[in-house]
Structure 1
């Protein structure tokens, strides 16, 4: 996901609208409910739920929304259940995309995902045809100002992380899946809630996009995917060149 953060910075500028914030909150709540139904409402015994709540807090989801989600998950009369599905696809230029979804209607979701790929020149592929180019990892992101790069590196080693990237604006700590929750707890205790924490997909190789038209089309695809309430996260093996990033962010 190196470079993907550049795109996220654009999204953060565009994404302050109430509509986008409401969609984000809906997705965070859906993940909390799903995590709690699968592993129980005791966050201390449910690593996925701990991560879900941490992610929600980092996005400023109100505490009462979190509490309501936990109450809904523990209510035996609540029959809403969401199924996890992953979709993989390609965009011209060798760009690979992974889409993670939580849905109560798989047919609706696959139709929306396929439509977005088709509209913007991409193609859905068989599961496994894209994900082999990625590593499944834990990812914890802090703002640059929480500590120096050396301090973050030392803390990440102490926490049991496997890699750290420090950019001009953030520190990104990568963990394996098994140690993610322990690393997150260790680093949160030391530095407070991260900007973002998730289990996700890290590309093994990055494709740099230096064509404005291709970049704009790709970002429209990502926007279209993320517009769906069923789509939780989108990952790709690309980054924007500095020139294209500056053009699009302006």
Structure 2
């Protein structure tokens, strides 16, 4: 799990995040200790209404993007972290303003959690999301549909 925080007091935020992990059975690693398990990418999102999947794919290829995922509601274009400025400008010229342009940490491999660990992880995520200093949380866990149904029913 990667936690991104923006704070005016690094010690306070680090202490708070460390306590969240400790209370939920985890430990806070040093800066960069899990980043090798993630790829840092640029992610540019457009509404589905900007064009067909083929049109967006063509514009993304010309802009230098690495991948495009098109769905019923949106087109998500990914590119190398270093290229996000150039790719977003090229796409803006071709498709107009993006819904969002952001940096993401995409996991290289996923870890499936059982019900007990999933419940603990969900509680940790809730606590982290409630902290005003925490901006983003990126993780590499996945929960099966059956376990998720049990957790949401409880």
Q: Normalising TM by the smaller chain, what interval?
A: 0.7 to 0.9
Q: 2:122 aligns with which of 214, 219, 222?
A: 219
Between the aligned partners of 2:12 and 2:74, the Cα distance in structure 1 is: 36
1:139-171 Cα distance to aligned partner (Å, 9 max, x none):
122344543332322221111111223356443
Measured in 1, the distance between the counterparts of 2:40 and 2:92 equals 21
| Alpha-carbon distance between aligned partners in 2 of 1:188 and 1:245, rounded to the nearest angstrom | 38
How far apart are 1:188 and its partner, in Å? Answer: 3.7
Would you tell me which structure has more helix in proportion to its own residues?
1
Q: 1:45-60 alignment to 2 at 5 Å?
A: none
Aligned-pair distance for 1:237?
1.2
- Provide the secondary structure at the position in 2 that maps to 1:187: helix
Q: Indicate the residue corresponding to 2:11 in structure 1.
A: 107
1:236 aligned partner: 139
Deviation at 1:248, TM superposition (A): 5.3
Name 2:107's counterpart in structure 1.
Answer: 203
Q: Displacement, 1:219? A: 1.9
1:70-107, Cα deviation, whole Å (9 max, x unpaired): xxxxxxxxxxxxxxxxxxxxxxxxxxx01111111111
Quote the residue 2:58 is aligned against: 154
Asked whether the 8 Å contact 2:45–2:98 carries over to 1, the reply is no
1:131 equivalent in alignment to 2:26? no
CA distance in 1, matches of 2:150, 2:52: 30
Number of aligned residues: 152
User: Which residues of structure 1 form unaligned runs of 5+?
Assistant: 1-96
User: Alpha carbon RMSD of aligned pairs, Å?
Assistant: 2.4
Cα distance in 2 for residues equivalent to 1:237 and 1:137: 15
Gap runs ≥5 in structure 2 = none
TM-score (norm 1): 0.53
Q: Is the 8 A contact 2:44 2:76 kept in 1?
A: yes
The CA deviation at 1:232 is 1.4
Aligned-partner Cα distance in 2 for 1:247–1:144: 33
- Residue number in structure 1 paired with 2:23: 119
